[in-house]
Homo-oligomer: A and B are copies of this chain.
Amino acid sequence: MNVHMSEKIMRPDFQGEFTASILAAAASPDLISFAGGLPNPVSFPVEAMEKATAKVLAENGVQALQYSGTQGLPALRAWIAKRYETMGVYDVTADDIIITNGSQQALAMLGMCMIDPGDKVLVENPTYLVALQSFHMFDPKIIPVQINPDGIDCEKLSETVKANPDAKFIYVIPNFQNPTGLSYTKEVHDKVVEILKGTDILLIEDNPYRELRFAGEATDSFGKELGEQCCMLGTFSKIVAPGMRIGWICVRNKELKAKLLSYKSTADLHTNIFSQLVLAQYLQDNDVDAHIEKTKELYRAKANLMMDCMRKYLPEGVTFTPTEGGMFLWATLPDSITSVDLYRAALAKGVAICPGDPFYEIDRGVHTVRLNYSNSTDEIIEKGMKLLGEACAELLGK
């Protein structure tokens, strides 16, 4: 038979196809890989999770295995609501939180609830590639706005907002953005608030890496100033563990919240309650801040090592912006080599990197690469960066 699939799923998917081809080539376990975005497993609280699980099954075994509510476990939502105080937002309640299957699901839910074909959506340029993929499912017109070392380009944002007051939302990652590792300064943060206030453009703040700051000071969440004009997305993937797929949307607009819940109930009824209970128990019985501190120390050392290696091994002409947290570094190559050139040359030497291309809505053949430092041993970082430097130098004919 011929399966006649939907037009929307048959549209070209540059991000998906590009990434699939990269991942297929980079799948060998013998490769040194800076291409992925995995947390370091030594940071996973396996023993504490085992204790939490035993407690949950002993005390709430039936609840953990039965169907449950679409919005998510109240105790877990209350913990998340309280956590917003550390981000400068004091009026969040458990009722504002929807538990999702990782914050990735939040993107799909917001896409469904906000985007009709042709609707305008603003994003940072470059931005998280799976956010682009996810929004593309709903066929919007995506308008990228340049991101600078201090955050989104406010002049360009201001122009774009004036020219597109009917844009549905702007999607931003203000802390240690994926892919660039860049963060918004307080100044840029305040200007963004000024530009968006009074418009009907929703700000979607994706914030998976904010808690992983090992230097400098973080800006508060946009929800502080923008209130219900801001949806705040979060996840336990980077601070506890990604395998349980537990993230959230903090949504304070009541109409939008009702529709997000209605859609989630048709999309999968509810998020795994077994894991929600285990996670809530883990958070109750353990000092998660102490746990995060340890992870930050680990990542700080790895980031510093990788930056040292970049200075030491990468040839002149390759630049990068030092980072103060998160999981990625972002390098810019000289005009004479594209990131795909370097990807190929590095792969030949046994090192996988992530070319910048799929993080852009429009630009292709770019000169930027994303390097992940969180998930490699120190030895591997040293060895891999040296090989990457050699690949780079050969391409530059040095």
**Complex formed: what's the CA distance from A119 to B6 in Å?**
9
Which B residues are CB-close (under 8 A) to A287? none
- Cross-chain contact B39 with A66 (CB below 8 angstroms): yes
- Give the dominant DSSP class at A's interface: helix
Report chain B residues within 8 Å CB of A67.
Answer: 38, 237, 242-243
CB distance from A225 to the nearest CB of B (A): 13
A158: Cβ under 8 A from any B Cβ: no
Alpha-carbon distance between A68 and B13 when the two chains are bound, in angstroms: 22
Determine whether A383 belongs to the interface, using a CB cutoff of 8 Å to chain B.
Answer: no
A55-63, A88-96, A386-394 - interface stretch? A55-63
Q: Among A211-219, A262-270, A311-319, which stretch is in contact with chain B?
A: A262-270
A323 on interface, CB distance cutoff 8 Å = no
Cα A1 to Cα B68 with chains together (Å): 33
Residue tally, chain A, CB below 8 Å to B = 81
Bound form: Cα–Cα A168–B2 in Å: 10
Which residues in window 5-39 of A have CB below 8 A to B?
5-10, 13, 16, 38-39
Enumerate A221-271 residues with CB–CB distance to B below 8 Å. Answer: 228-229, 237, 241-245, 253, 255-256, 259, 262-263, 265-271
Q: Which of B1, B44, B266, B269 is close to A199, meaning CB atoms less than 8 Å apart?
A: B1
Which of A1, A38, A39, A102 is packed against the most chain B CB atoms within 10 Å? A1
- Complex interface: chain B residues within 8 A of A256 (CB): 3, 5
Complex-state Cα separation, A345 to B200, whole angstroms? 46
Q: How many Å from the CB of A37 to the closest CB on chain B?
A: 8
Contact (A101, B46) CB under 8 Å given A9-B259, A243-B68, A262-B13: no
**A65: interface (CB < 8 Å):** yes
If A39-B66, A244-B274, A259-B9 touch, does A137 touch B116 (CB 8 Å cutoff)? no
Report the minimal beta-carbon distance from A288 to chain B, rounded to whole angstroms: 14
Q: Are B53 and A66 touching (Cβ within 8 A)?
A: no
A115 interface residue (CB < 8 Å to B): yes
**CB contact between A108 and one of B44, B63, B168, B267 (< 8 Å): that residue:** B267
Tell whether A175 is near chain B: CB-to-CB under 8 Å: no
User: Nearest Cβ distance between residue A106 and chain B, in whole angstroms?
Assistant: 9
How far is B50's CA from A244's CA once the two chains are assembled, in angstroms? 17
Partner of A134, one of B138, B242, B266: B266
Q: Is A395's CB within 8 Å of the partner chain B?
A: no
Can you name the residue of chain B whose Cβ is closest to the Cβ of A129? B266
Q: How far is the CA of A108 from the CA of B108 in the complex (A)?
A: 12
Bound: A57/B66 CA distance, A: 22
Q: How far is the CA of A340 from the CA of B30 in the complex (A)?
A: 65
Within 8 Å by CB of A228, from B1, B62, B273, lies B1
Can you name the residue of chain B whose Cβ is closest to the Cβ of A119? B6
Q: Which 7 A-B pairs have the closest CB atoms?
A: A46-B61, A65-B241, A101-B268, A41-B62, A50-B57, A105-B268, A134-B266
20 residue pairs of the A-B complex, CB under 8 angstroms, read: A1-B200, A1-B202, A1-B229, A3-B114, A3-B255, A5-B114, A5-B259, A7-B116, A9-B114, A16-B266, A44-B62, A44-B65, A47-B61, A50-B58, A50-B61, A101-B271, A104-B266, A130-B269, A134-B267, A245-B273
- Tell me the A residues contacting B by CB distance below 8 Å: 1-10, 13, 16, 38-39, 41, 44, 46-47, 49-50, 53-54, 57-58, 61-68, 100-102, 104-105, 107-108, 112-116, 119, 130, 133-134, 137-138, 166, 168, 199-200, 202, 228-229, 237, 241-245, 253, 255-256, 259, 262-263, 265-275, 278
